[in-house]
Amino acid sequence: MKSVYCATYEGLDAKLVYVESTLTKGLPSFSIVGMASTAINEAKERVKSALLSNDFSFPPKRITINLAPSDVKKEGSQFDLSVALLIALDSLEDSLDDWFVFGELGLNGKVKENMKLYPLLLSLANQKIIKKALVPKESLSKLSKIPNIEFYGVDTLQDAIDLLRNQENISPSVEQVKIDYPFYKINDEKFYYVKEYTDDFCDVKGQAIAKRAALIAATGFHNLLLEGSPGCGKSMIAKRLRYILPPMNTDTLLDLAKLQALDMQEPDFKPHRNMRSPHHSSTLASIFGGGSHKAQIGEVGLAHRGVLFFDELPHFNKNVLEALREPMEDAKIRISRVNSKVEYPADFLFIGAMNPCPCGNLLNQSKECRCTELEIKKYKNKLSDPFLDRIDLNVIMQNVNMNDKASYSSKELHKMVVGAHMFSKKRGQDVFNAKLNDTDIEKFCILSDEAQFTLNMAIERFSLTFRSIKKSPKSWTDYR
């Protein structure tokens, strides 16, 4: 019996698949077992043609290919090369157990690229379960960016057979492309960042309080709600905040690259976090993911490790806002369907922006509000208390003044965030402040007597919930 490794998708992550084969005496047959999809079963014809086209006689035996674990549904054409090699190298004495093999076969034995290959390998690399892989040669330019994997590229099935028959004298087909961005090192772990500010906070005039809140939100990944008149700078601040977010380690870079690949983008491994900004008319399925047969990732999942921005917050469907409470609290989202149950990581920084009333002029000193009290109440009631309880920072934006001037630049704010990130890592903190559990809050967020007195007053005056009490000290101790 021979075996190699391959992989398939299970939700957002790659699932390891153990491909094994037996060629026994009996009535000639060829079967693939282990919950294989139609695309995998069709591989039998591609494999037969590829072997016969390269002067291999198809063995007159009972051939059984097993894809384990058998209770996981497998799909994709990346299994073709694995199946063909197990049949062609059945008599090989050398072991193939430590090889990962990916590739779709043409009828003439050509090894072709598969669209799912890049995110699959990114996920396997992030899980640290792959060391070397046999892949299509045309994919090497992209795959070489993935760290800590030796890639061996082949053009044809014959090239793959020759390579595995001569394993002692082979070397990786391409050198790994190193992540060429500034970094600092803490406890042997590298954290990458980039000093590029496409949108700069210098463009935002005034709004000192909102900028301060944005700085705290970026440092600790605290959810932020900006409320103010139209044109006061809410969206400008939200769009600039992604450029001052904390540096990223290699695992985070791989996570973001995988999400880019799933979003049909070319991963660039650049240490800029994602920002997703769905329109308020977006459906529940497009924001959270879904599908009647197979659950697909939505905007919330694509915002993992980055920013999820809801502009015109009260105009979003009530069901969308209420469903958002779970990922904001648990940093994950679960999608249940008859055919599948999928869980996606969704650890994001949420930013909401809203007007103070339907017409937007309630806080404007130079324009009269046209809304009735009932309309304003109805507008505000679209945001439930449980939803607002998950917002760490709520900022009322200042009115625009002709004398407003630029203050902090993105470069200056980013420097503060990086300094705070280094401080948190050096004191042994593994997660951002907003994600600390009760034990870590007691350990890291030690309040002064004055701060504790202020918190006690806030608890009594505003009837704070346990969630609000837990979140409050973290906001105050980011920059005391």
**Measured between alpha carbons, how far is 237 from 211 in angstroms, rounded to an integer?**
7
Is residue 407 predicted with pLDDT exceeding 90? no
Residue 339's pLDDT is 65
Residue 9 has pLDDT above 90, yes or no: no
pLDDT exceeds cutoff 90 at 6: yes
* pLDDT above 50 for 480: no
Residue 82 has pLDDT above 80, yes or no: yes
Answer whether residue 382 shows pLDDT above 60: yes
Q: Quick one: pLDDT at residue 221?
A: 94
Give the pLDDT score at 293: 62
User: Per-residue pLDDT tens for 174-193?
Assistant: 877 777 889 999 988 999 99
- 230-280 pLDDT per residue, tens: 988 999 999 999 999 999 998 899 889 888 888 888 888 889 999 999 999
Query: Is domain 2-169 annotated with CATH 3.40.1390.10?
Result: no
411-437 confidence digits (pLDDT tens): 999 999 999 999 999 998 989 988 888
Residue 473: pLDDT over 60: no
The C-alpha atoms of residue 104 and residue 113 are separated, in whole angstroms, by 6
CATH H-level, domain 185-431: superfamily: P-loop containing nucleotide triphosphate hydrolases (3.40.50.300)
Q: How far is CA 73 from CA 8, 66, 68, 167, 237, in A?
A: 8, 12, 10, 32, 44
Q: What is the pLDDT of residue 324?
A: 94
One fold for 2-169 and 185-431: no
For residues 267 and 122, give the distance between their C-alpha atoms in angstroms, rounded to a whole number. Answer: 10
Which alpha helices (H) appear in 167-273, and where do they start and end? 208-220, 234-241, 250-262
Mean pLDDT score of the chain: 88
Q: Distances in Å between the alpha carbon of 445 and those of 220, 347, 434? A: 12, 21, 11
For the chain, domain boundaries: 2-169, 185-431, 436-480
Does residue 477 surpass a pLDDT of 50?
A: no
Token duo for residue 35: 């919950």
Which residue did the predictor score with more confidence, 115 or 198?
A: 198
Binning pLDDT at 50, 70 and 90, where does residue 295 land?
low
The better pLDDT of the pair 179, 380 is held by 380
Is the predicted pLDDT of residue 102 greater than 80, yes or no?
A: yes
**What integer pLDDT is reported at residue 22 of this predicted model?**
93
User: 71: how many CB neighbours lie within 10 A of its CB?
Assistant: 7
- Give the pLDDT confidence of 305-357 residue by residue, as tens digits: 999 999 999 999 999 999 999 999 999 888 776 666 778 889 999 999 999 99
Residue of higher predicted confidence among 244 and 118: 244
Q: Give, in degrees to the nearest 5, the angle at Cα 122 between 175 and 47.
A: 85
Instruction: Give Cβ neighbours of residue 321 (< 8 Å, ≥ 6 apart).
Output: 313, 382, 383, 384, 387
CB 154 within 8 A of CB 160: yes
Q: Is the pLDDT of residue 476 over 60?
A: no
**Percentage of the chain surpassing pLDDT 70?**
96
Question: What band does 375 get if pLDDT is binned at 50, 70 and 90?
Answer: very high
**Nearest-angstrom CA–CA distance, 257 and 123:** 9
User: Where does the pLDDT of residue 197 fall: very low under 50, low under 70, confident under 90, or very high at 90 and above?
Assistant: very high
Q: Provide, rounded to the nearest whole percent, the portion of the chain with pLDDT above 90.
A: 54
Report the range of poorest mean pLDDT among 118-132, 282-296, 353-367, 461-475: 461-475
Question: How confident is the model at residue 313, as a pLDDT?
Answer: 95
What is the structure's pLDDT at 340? 67
* Length of the chain (residues): 480
β-pairing verdict for 189-192 and 183-186: antiparallel
Residue with the larger pLDDT of the pair 92 and 175: 92
**Distance in angstroms (rounded) separating the CA atoms of residues 203 and 404:** 11
> Is the pLDDT assigned to residue 46 strictly greater than 90?
yes
